[in-house]
Amino acid sequence: MEFSIKSGSPEKQRSACVVVGVFEPRKLTLAAELIDNAARSHLSDIVRRGDMEGKAGSTLLLHNVPGTLCDRVLLVGLGKEKEFGDREYCDAVRSAVRTLNETGSFDGTVFLTETNVRKRSAAWRVRQAAIVAEQTVYRFDQFKSKKDKVRRPLRKLTFVVDRRNELAAAEQALSEGQAIAEGMALAMDLANLPGNVCTPGHLAETALKIAADHKIDCQVIERDEMAALGMHSLLSVAKGSHQDPKLIVLQYKGGKGDEKPVLLVGKGVTFDTGGISLKPAPEMDEMKYDMCGAATVLGTLKATALLKLPINLTVVVPSTENMPGGGASRPGDIVTSMSGQTIEILNTDAEGRLILCDALTYAARFEPDTVIDVATLTGACVIALGHVASGLFANNDALARELLNAGDEAHDRAWQMPLWNDYQELLKSPFADMANIGGRWGGSITAACFLARFTKKYVWAHLDIAGTAWKSGADKGATGRPVPLLMHYLLKRGGKLR
């Protein structure tokens, strides 16, 4: 989609559709008032009759509004003004874009970006509007022989800011929003692919293409080299699959040569049957999403490269399938990780931590400033936090605060969970240095505690995205989260966020 920024009065816009807001109960925003004045109370008459009361998410499309130069005016309900915050603003933009796309308005001029949102700048409103707009029109239909047709799909959006001195900041924010949206689209495309297409090899090919497009260093480590490195924990997960595992390493060097990199690790289990500890059949198809951590870090890397952020960023993706083949690992097997620590595998469905621990050990060789791993790690995190917030664990409180703030800024929120040593007791094994599960209670915490044993050489955080990376049901599909959270964190580090 094409985007632009401008400043101007709504009644003077030559556009297929001008979008303005209405608060509940029946209160016009400033932009709507300007149209109403030009139209000799046409909007206020409609509102007074109850055709648009301002209920959040409601829309009303008006034709031939007198006193305006546009073809149509779209009224969007914003809910109660005193409750109008981040979520309400994003929902309003989403409703507007969906209506424009479904009603044949090939371009729209959106004045919602002028509407005040508590503690948010015009730049924030524009950045979020671009992200939400691209998400709203996103479709994954490449495997359909007959595509869903949209009559005159939305092609252009213009976001309006109310002061000319805000234009430069808004233009920069628009570029950031578009880059984040592109990173999210890559993450969603990869995650939505079926497991017979998005294999570890496919992830490696995608990484190589990103590297070629943006002149990024890329290395794909194969099974034999992993064995030579001592990555027997990662390899134990791959033993039941015919697909070769891959360890993908990309290095973006936009910062100073001696600047230590931020390092992102993304779990890339391209299909997770649970292995010998086989999952139940219902909804097992959704286990293609067990590589959303990998998709996230690749999408984040792409967005970083598009913006040419002045940082050094390294991405490590351990990727494999988890299948119940004849050579698969068994419950009770003991493996030696790259760190030299031994692990008793009590449940082969707790495989994400087994591939991440070797990747986290490997990460130390880059002498990173910060390491953040991203993984659809535990169903327990979904029980704890639902589908609203990602679980955040960290061995450094300052890093935790930075990520929490980035999630709040991005409206891609996380919630910090404890990482206390008390929980380490649950991972004890009589036969190895540790077990790979800690029992029924506190499952997301013991999983993070397991990873913490491999991250003592650097500042580290873990994002458990099992509840936020995809949706089930009628709207089933990947969400692209937490690309926005990570990008706002990196934008802040690069000194770009306004």
Active-site residue list: 279, 353
| Residue type for position 401 | R
To 5 degrees, how large is the angle CA 286–CA 409–CA 94?
60
Reduced to 3 states (helix: H, G, I; strand: E, B; else coil), residue 247 is: strand
Q: What is the SS3 assignment for 240?
A: coil
Task: Check: CB of residue 390 under 8 Å from CB of residue 482.
Answer: yes
Distance CA 225, CA 234 (A): 12
The Cα–Cα gap between 102 and 70 comes to: 18
Backbone angles phi, psi at 351, to 5 degrees: -90, -25
Q: Which two tokens stand for residue 483?
A: 């690309």
* Nearest-angstrom CA–CA distance, 194 and 372: 27
Provide the 8-state DSSP code for 429: -
10 contacts 102 by C-beta, under 8 angstroms: no
Torsion of CA 142, 148, 150, 154, to 10 degrees: -30
Alpha helices in 39-166 (DSSP H): 42-48, 86-102, 122-137
